[in-house]
């Protein structure tokens, strides 16, 4: 009887494995290699000034870290198992959302719609600043914002680098996150990053049934799990006595228990490497994201100075410190540097500091077994922002890209990542 049961279980497992394999092959029935079984990222090749032949990841010592990450992508792509956390950190290019929203979808599509949790979000509008279109927020109470990039600001920041503070006796916040196609993200667990006076009590949505509550005062968050799953986070606070009270929101994490890729975006307008080093709770809160892949796009604001004033050694040293925070959060994290896009300084002349940033990033990649996505080179190098602007891929300030430009950058980045992943898998299974 026992042997018969084992045999039946073996047959069921074999059938399941066959179905998974068949499903992957049905998507690409003529696929012969692992790379051909990955979903293709389409990239517009309509622009003759873009260096498409240079659209690669330059990975240093891939066998030390990147192969292990690629193995996890393989497991997720072909077995549907695993969770991968990506943390993309930068300035206004990240806060705006066009780049990271497209990358989130691209990374999920590489492994056939393996989108995971929505992950970390900040309701920027409550802090009176621009928000990605995929984050919607409403609130009651009077809130003020505080950014780590503003000279003279001195706040207790977490990893988001931005705070929203309310001093009313009570207030509430409502947050939704959706895909670019309008579908709302569902979640059954949330982590609210905050700090407040002792006479303030958090209130979660009364329409859900709480299963678990956990508070970490060191890292500064309260975590709730509940049922049923929802698509809107509703919470608030109230002051418990007659004394003045205050509450500061530093972000939320929208979570569920499924498999997939979670693409977390952390961005603040005007932020530099120095800005994030001012965040006292950065390292502790970053641990909760456990980044498997860190994407660094910080450099535009560091380099936005006269050519003779850019200190490459100081820039490198600040990155060293920031990288230590990520290695503290996950010692095995892979690091991807994105060089500056070409810009103009004060709209008058090409910013040559982009070349110094590029050199530092290659140096850091070598030091930390990282990788470089050389956006500056792929764009066409110094002065190429003019061609991007004429093609409606860049804004008139010749610093930011347009929506179409950011989405093209996201497609280029995802294609380069997919190529590196596919090349590794083909080599791994080559007869």
Residue 163 confidence (pLDDT) above 60 = yes
Please name which of 246, 238, 241, 266 lies closest in space to residue 143, comparing C-alpha atoms: 246
The ranges assigned to domains in the chain are 47-116+259-431, 119-257
Instruction: Name the band, by pLDDT with cuts 50, 70 and 90, for residue 20.
Output: very low
Determine the topology of domain 119-257 in CATH.
Jelly Rolls (2.60.120)
Residue 398 confidence (pLDDT) above 90 = yes
What the block records as the tokens of 247 is 């509450």
Q: What is the DSSP letter of 184?
A: B
For residue range 88-97, list pLDDT tens digits in order.
Answer: 999 999 999 9
| Per-residue pLDDT at 31 | 54
Q: How far apart are CA 378 and CA 49, in angstroms?
A: 9
| Per-residue pLDDT at 38 | 83
Q: 182 has which bridge partners?
A: none
For residue range 30-85, list pLDDT tens digits in order.
Answer: 556 778 888 788 899 999 999 999 999 999 999 999 999 999 999 998 888 899 99
Q: How far apart are CA 20 and CA 413, in angstroms?
A: 28
Q: How far apart are CA 214 and CA 221, in angstroms?
A: 8
Helix ranges restricted to H, 153-272: none
By percentage, how much of the chain surpasses pLDDT 70? Answer: 92
Q: Write the DSSP string, 32-67.
A: -SHHHHSPPPP-----TTS-GGG--EEESSTTTTHH
The CATH number that domain 47-116+259-431 falls under is: 3.40.50.1110
Instruction: Name the band, by pLDDT with cuts 50, 70 and 90, for residue 113.
Output: low
> Mean per-residue pLDDT for 277-300?
97
For residue range 409-424, list pLDDT tens digits in order.
Answer: 999 999 999 999 999 9
Question: Which residues, in sequence order, are CB contacts of 152 under 8 Å at separation 6+?
Answer: none
For residues 212 and 224, the answer to whether their CB atoms sit within 8 Å is yes
For residue range 234-247, list pLDDT tens digits in order.
Answer: 999 999 999 999 99
For residues 103 and 109, the answer to whether their CB atoms sit within 8 Å is no
For residue range 272-287, list pLDDT tens digits in order.
Answer: 999 999 999 999 999 9
Task: Please compute, for residue 247, the number of CA atoms within 13 A of its CA located in the half-sphere on the CB side.
Answer: 27
Q: Where are the beta strands (DSSP E) in 273-313?
A: 293-297
In 3-state terms, what secondary structure has residue 363? Answer: helix
Q: 251 has which bridge partners?
A: 193
Q: First vs last Cα of the chain: how many Å apart?
A: 41
| Per-residue pLDDT at 15 | 34
């Amino acid at each position: 009887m026992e042997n018969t049961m084992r045999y039946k279980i073996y047959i069921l497992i074999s059938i399941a494995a066959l179905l998974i394999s068949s499903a992957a092959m049905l998507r690409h029935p003529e696929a012969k290699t692992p790379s051909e079984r990955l979903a293709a990222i389409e990239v517009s090749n309509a622009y003759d000034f873009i260096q498409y032949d240079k659209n690669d990841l330059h990975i240093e010592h891939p066998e030390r870290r990147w192969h292990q990450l690629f193995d996890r992508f393989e497991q997720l792509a072909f077995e549907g198992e695993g969770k991968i956390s990506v943390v993309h950190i930068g300035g206004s290019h990240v806060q705006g959302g066009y780049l990271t929203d497209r990358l989130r979808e691209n990374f999920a599509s590489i492994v056939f719609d393996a989108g995971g949790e929505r992950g970390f979000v900040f309701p920027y509008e409550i802090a009176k600043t621009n928000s990605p279109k995929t984050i919607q927020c409403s609130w009651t109470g009077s809130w003020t914002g505080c950014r780590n990039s503003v000279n003279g600001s001195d706040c207790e920041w977490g990893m988001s680098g931005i705070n929203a503070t309310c001093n009313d006796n009570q207030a509430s916040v409502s947050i939704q996150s959706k895909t670019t196609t309008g579908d709302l993200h569902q979640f059954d667990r949330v982590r609210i990053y905050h700090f407040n006076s002792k006479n303030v009590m958090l209130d979660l949505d009364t329409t859900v049934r709480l299963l678990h509550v956990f508070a970490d005062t060191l890292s500064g968050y309260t975590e709730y799990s509940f049922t049923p799953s929802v698509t809107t986070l509703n919470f608030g606070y109230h002051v418990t006595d007659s004394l003045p009270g205050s509450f500061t929101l530093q972000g939320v994490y929208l979570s569920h228990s499924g498999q997939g890729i979670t693409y977390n975006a952390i961005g603040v307008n005007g932020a530099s490497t120095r800005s994030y080093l001012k965040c006292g709770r950065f390292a502790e809160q970053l641990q909760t994201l456990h980044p498997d892949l860190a994407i660094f796009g910080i450099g535009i604001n560091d380099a936005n100075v006269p050519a003779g004033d850019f200190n490459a050694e100081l820039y490198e040293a600040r990155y060293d410190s920031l990288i230590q925070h990520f290695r503290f959060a996950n010692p095995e994290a892979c690091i991807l540097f994105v060089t500056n896009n070409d810009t103009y300084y004060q709209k008058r002349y090409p910013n040559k500091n982009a070349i110094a940033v590029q050199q530092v990033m290659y140096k850091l990649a070598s030091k930390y077994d990282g990788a470089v996505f050389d956006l500056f080179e792929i764009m066409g190098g110094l002065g190429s922002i003019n061609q991007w602007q004429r093609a409606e891929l860049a804004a008139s300030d010749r610093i930011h890209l347009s929506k179409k430009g950011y989405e093209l950058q996201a497609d280029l980045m995802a294609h380069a990542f997919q190529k590196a992943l596919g090349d590794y898998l083909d080599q791994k299974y080559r007869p």
